[in-house]
Amino acid sequence: MQSHPQIHVEYPSWIGEVVAFDALLASREDRMRLAIRLARENVLRGAGGPFGALVVERDSGRIVSAGTNSVLRYNNSVLHGETVALMMAQQRLGSFTLHRDDFPAHELVTSCEPCAMCLGAAHWSGVRSLVCGATRDDATSTNFDEGPVFPESYAYLEERGIEIVRGVLRDEALAVLHEYRERGGPVYNA
Amino acid sequence: MQSHPQIHVEYPSWIGEVVAFDALLASREDRMRLAIRLARENVLRGAGGPFGALVVERDSGRIVSAGTNSVLRYNNSVLHGETVALMMAQQRLGSFTLHRDDFPAHELVTSCEPCAMCLGAAHWSGVRSLVCGATRDDATSTNFDEGPVFPESYAYLEERGIEIVRGVLRDEALAVLHEYRERGGPVYNA
């Protein structure tokens, strides 16, 4: 009888060189700068796609978790930067939702507007705000498909109380997508 | 310094009592019957939400992987039945896509039409067909939110070659949603 598969996910070994987990990131630009740095390091170290994300406490800026695109590293198409950051935040806090009366509000910061899967994952996660760098068009122009995300998708989240902030440090975020393409990184979902 | 969180996912301990991994499920009704049974067992054993899924080889009906909603079991809102089944299939095959020239076509069978996250996950996974039991309206009527899924979302997948089949054994699938509600199971994303 064959053994059953198991899923195991850890941060990349270099996470501590990039993320100071005891830091406070006061501004949204500070938070996005780190998400973009995660995306870039993921590319430079050959660890995966050019996408990084963070979960922070919205008001204090305390870092709860980080995520890098880990599709190639783990042969797992669910492991985008956002899903990894959300799963790590919930694991750390021991809760399947980040939206609880005894928790501060949480924010997902992502170097690129989320794909359909990650937009849905953000919704279920309990984050109260979603902060994006590069746009869907930026992703598409560098050959990444974002899937079935529509203006109504964002409206759906906003109607349920999730604040959406887009275009933070967009140019810097887009630059990482270009770097990835120039290095010939695989586009695994073209 | 605190240790980093890690994600670990296994099948529930009773999976072998429910799924015969060497079976061939020829018809879509046979496949759906098993997805529904996974959903029901998940409820009866108090393991999580009333949702089950399978990945099978589309033409042979060989079972590649199974998934049960594992949100409560692992405190992880990403772990729906479909995402678990897809991750397990990719882990078993050692590939971040199920759509390769050296693979047979794969099919995702789910006891209920997928939420926004899982529809996106299905798209990235490389499955070539998506077979659904209960409908979005069935889920909504039993207090489960499916998130931003629109008719255009399904069209997006179909335009990219993914066959969509809906309403297979719908009544049996809906019955499990009702059972869950009658037992007072938590609706974790209301």
Q: What is the 3-state secondary structure (H, E, C) of A36-66?
A: HHHHHHHHHCCCCCCCEEEEEECCCCEEEEE
Query: Residue A119 is nearest to which of B7, B8, B148, comparing CB atoms?
Result: B148
Query: Does residue A90 belong to the interface with chain B, where contact is any CB pair within 8 Å?
Result: yes
Per-residue pLDDT of chain B (190 residues; tens, 9 = 90+): 568 999 999 999 999 999 999 999 999 999 999 999 999 999 999 999 999 999 999 999 999 999 999 999 999 999 999 999 999 999 999 999 999 999 999 999 999 999 999 999 999 999 999 999 999 999 999 889 999 999 999 999 999 999 999 999 999 999 999 999 998 887 766 5
Instruction: Determine, for residues B124 and A118 on separate chains, whether the beta-carbon distance falls below 8 Å.
Output: no
Query: Does residue A120 belong to the interface with chain B, where contact is any CB pair within 8 Å?
Result: yes
Q: Supply the DSSP symbol for B57.
A: E
Query: Does residue B94 belong to the interface with chain A, where contact is any CB pair within 8 Å?
Result: yes
Q: Supply the DSSP symbol for A133.
A: E
C-alpha R_g of chain B = 16
Contacts of B4 in chain A (CB under 8 A): 10-11, 15, 88
Q: How far apart are CA B187 and CA B190, in angstroms?
A: 6
> Do B10 and A6 touch, CB atoms closer than 8 A?
yes
Query: Does residue B60 belong to the interface with chain A, where contact is any CB pair within 8 Å?
Result: no
Cβ-based neighbours of A12, under 8 Å, separated by 6 or more: A42, A45, A47, A68, A70, A73
**How do residues A78-105 score in pLDDT, each as one tens digit?**
999 999 999 999 999 999 999 999 999 9
